[in-house]
């Protein structure tokens, strides 16, 4: 019976499905998840490239290569050395992907009240903290 599966199974299954859904969104734009992360990092305005690279250091992929690709597409420019900024085309691409990502997020929470969703996130965060503490790594939570 499905409801007898342990939480680890459900967490892994949800993670795999979210990855698949988000990958399908970004590949529809000819992007990778790393492209999306960079675009989203720049959505608020100009950011030093070193900050973008540092913020995404825990994720797989070469951020510098992605920035180069986005610049070649005309989506990112460098208004001055070391600073990254979305162009009008980059803003439009970000907005398209953001709408699609929003749909994935809404579908994920279908049937849940706002309180149920927030409570689920709090419970998962507490479980992460518990396991980190058990592993002797209480500082891991601070990186998020």
**Phi/psi at 73 (5° precision):** -75, -10
Q: Do 53 and 63 touch, CB atoms closer than 8 A?
A: yes
Q: Do 53 and 65 touch, CB atoms closer than 8 A?
A: no
* pLDDT mean over 41-69: 92
103/30 Cα distance (integer angstroms): 18
Contacts of residue 130, Cβ cutoff 8 Å, sequence gap at least 6:
none
Q: 0.85 cut: is pTM over it?
A: no
What are 36-45's pLDDT values in tens digits?
A: 999 999 999 9
Confidence of residue 51 (pLDDT cuts 50, 70, 90): very high
pLDDT at 143: 47
8/38 Cα distance (integer angstroms): 30
pLDDT at 142 over 60: no
DSSP string across 15-26? HHHHHHHHHHHH
| 116/3: higher pLDDT | 116
Confidence of residue 140 (pLDDT cuts 50, 70, 90): low
Confidence of residue 60 (pLDDT cuts 50, 70, 90): confident
* pLDDT mean over 35-62: 92
pLDDT at 59: 85
Strand order through the sheet with 47-48: 47-48, 83-86, 76-77
Confidence of residue 4 (pLDDT cuts 50, 70, 90): confident
Question: In a 3-state reduction of DSSP, which class is residue 137?
Answer: coil
């Amino acid at each position: 019976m499905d409801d007898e599966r342990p939480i680890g199974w459900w967490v892994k299954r949800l993670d795999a499905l979210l990855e698949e859904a988000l990958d399908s969104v970004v590949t529809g734009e000819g992007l990778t998840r790393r492209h999306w992360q960079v675009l989203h990092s720049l959505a608020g305005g100009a950011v030093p490239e070193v900050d973008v690279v540092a913020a995404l250091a825990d994720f797989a992929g070469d951020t510098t290569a992605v920035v180069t690709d986005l610049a070649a597409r005309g989506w990112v420019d460098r208004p001055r050395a070391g600073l990254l900024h979305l162009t009008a085309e980059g803003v439009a691409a970000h907005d398209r992907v953001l709408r699609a990502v929003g749909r994935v997020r809404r579908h994920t929470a279908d049937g849940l009240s706002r309180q149920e969703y927030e409570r689920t996130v709090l419970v998962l965060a507490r479980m992460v903290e518990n396991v980190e503490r058990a592993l002797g790594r209480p500082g891991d939570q601070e990186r998020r």
